[in-house]
């Protein structure tokens, strides 16, 4: 799952856009974005944040400057628990040639010392997009940890996992019809990339167009591919 490989595999799968969301880290995003721009692939940069309640949430930023500010926020609130590479593997940042340029010292799967409300507020303060991840899963999700979607939580969309049918899900949760949904491959292994897709109807591959699609503005829209 190196930067060059992910861009190449996304192109092979016919994708126009991918999202990069390592756990509690944005450090690999810049290199993947650089390669993607060269190869004609739009890369949404962000992180999959674990909140204090152990809810996983996707956070995307518009540019590298905002991404750096968000990385500072993640670093400040990640518990200083040293990573044990024998147990959890190496946490490496690599370049296009697969050379190691950095190693994250603290365990990235830890929960931040920030509530879901605080994370959402920081993401939106930086002009980003906030999407609770795989909300129906039985662990690390809004449903498993909180039991519901807080009505005052400002979400740009909700994500359901690739294992779930959106039609079946909304039949069971009719009160959630007002939200827009995305789904993705949540790829942790090479062959998973692109196996679940969301269709974005928009005029250009830009962050602002993605925002408009997620909110149904000016005819833009999103739909989970079936």
Checking if the pLDDT of 189 tops 90, the result is no
Q: How far is CA 22 from CA 18, 48, 56, 60, 61, in A?
A: 13, 6, 11, 11, 13
User: In the chain, pLDDT over 70 holds for what percent of residues?
Assistant: 100
Checking if the pLDDT of 226 tops 90, the result is no
Q: CB within 8 A of 63, min separation 6: which ones? A: 207
Give the number of residues written for the chain. 226
C-alpha closest to that of 130 among 210, 53, 75: 210
pLDDT at 112: 98
Checking if the pLDDT of 191 tops 90, the result is no
pLDDT (mean) for 175-198: 93
What is the average pLDDT value for the chain, to the nearest integer? 96
Q: Tens of pLDDT along 131-153?
A: 999 999 999 999 999 999 999 99
Q: Read off φ and ψ for residue 209, nearest 5 degrees.
A: -65, -35
Q: Are 129 and 45 in contact (CB under 8 A)?
A: no
pLDDT at 190: 82
pLDDT at 204: 97
C-alpha closest to that of 134 among 19, 189, 56: 56
Q: Give the class (CATH, top level) of 3-194.
A: alpha beta
Per DSSP (E only), the strands in the chain are 17-23, 42-50, 56-61, 92-94, 100-103, 129-132, 158-160, 181-183, 198-201, 221-224
User: In the chain, pLDDT over 90 holds for what percent of residues?
Assistant: 97
DSSP 106: B
Q: Tens of pLDDT along 2-14?
A: 999 999 999 999 9
Q: Tens of pLDDT along 31-90?
A: 999 999 999 999 999 999 999 999 999 999 999 999 999 999 999 999 999 999 999 999
Q: Read off φ and ψ for residue 39, nearest 5 degrees.
A: -95, 5
Cα 22 from Cα 222, distance rounded (Å): 23
Strand, helix or coil for residue 46 = strand
């Amino acid at each position: 799952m190196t930067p060059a490989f992910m861009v190449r595999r996304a192109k092979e799968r016919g994708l126009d856009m991918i999202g990069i969301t390592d756990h509690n880290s944005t450090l690999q995003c810049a290199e993947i974005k650089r390669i993607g721009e060269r190869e004609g692939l739009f890369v949404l940069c962000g992180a999959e944040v674990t909140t204090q309640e152990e809810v996983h949430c996707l956070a995307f930023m518009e540019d590298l400057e905002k991404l750096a500010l968000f990385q500072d926020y993640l670093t400040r609130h990640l518990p200083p628990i040293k990573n044990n590479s024998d147990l959890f593997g190496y946490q490496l940042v690599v370049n296009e040639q697969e050379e190691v340029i950095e190693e994250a010292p603290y365990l990235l799967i830890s929960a931040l010392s920030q509530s879901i409300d605080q994370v959402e507020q920081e993401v939106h303060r930086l002009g980003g997009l906030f999407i609770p991840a795989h909300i129906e899963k039985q662990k690390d999700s809004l449903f498993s940890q909180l039991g519901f979607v807080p009505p005052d939580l400002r979400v740009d969309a909700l994500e359901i996992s690739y294992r779930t049918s959106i039609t079946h899900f909304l039949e069971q949760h009719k009160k959630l019809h007002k939200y827009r949904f995305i789904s993705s491959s949540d790829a942790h292994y090479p062959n998973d990339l692109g196996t679940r897709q969301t269709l974005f109807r928009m005029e250009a591959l830009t962050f602002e167009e993605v925002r408009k699609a997620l909110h149904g503005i000016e005819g833009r829209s999103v739909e989970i591919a079936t």
